[in-house]
Each structure stands twice: as structure tokens, then as C-alpha cells.
Amino acid sequence: MTPKEKAKDLVDKFIQYVDSTDQVGLANETEMKINAGNCALQCCDEILDFYNRYEGGIDSDEYEQQAEYWNNVKEEIEKL
């Protein structure tokens, strides 16, 4: 899955868990997408933290590839 596809996938998964209703009780889709994007960014940060903690136990090429991938996913989430 490309970083762009993964970014969209994560935001779509989190959108069902965010509540962004306005004063009338209607869903604010823009705010929901922003909140879901923030959740997806937090998820990426957790994955990157995991790789940073275990960098010594992971093949350096794999570590660099994974770190680059998840940083690219974060960039794509920010573009959504």
C-alpha cells in the first residue's frame, strides 16, 4: 500500500470514532476529517516510536524503510 493509500485508509478507519457535531447536532464533516486525521497522525507517531525504541534489534535497512514509509504516511495525512 502506498503512503497515500495508507493515509486515506487510516483516516477512513478513525472517522467512525470521532464525534464532531455542531450546536444543532449535525455532523461537521470537515471537523470530523480533521479529528480523524489527528488520530491517524498519533497512530503513525506510535509506530515510529516503536521503531525508534527497537532500532538496535531491527535490521538497519528495514528500520530506515519503515521510518521513511511512516513519515511519508504522515505527510500524506497532513495533505488530506
Domain assignments of the chain as residue spans, ordered by start: 3-79
d(CA 61, CA 37): 28
- Predicted local distance difference test score (pLDDT) of residue 21: 65
Q: Rounded mean pLDDT of the chain?
A: 85
3-state secondary structure of 21: strand
The answer to whether residue 24 scores a pLDDT higher than 60 is: no
The answer to whether residue 61 scores a pLDDT higher than 80 is: no
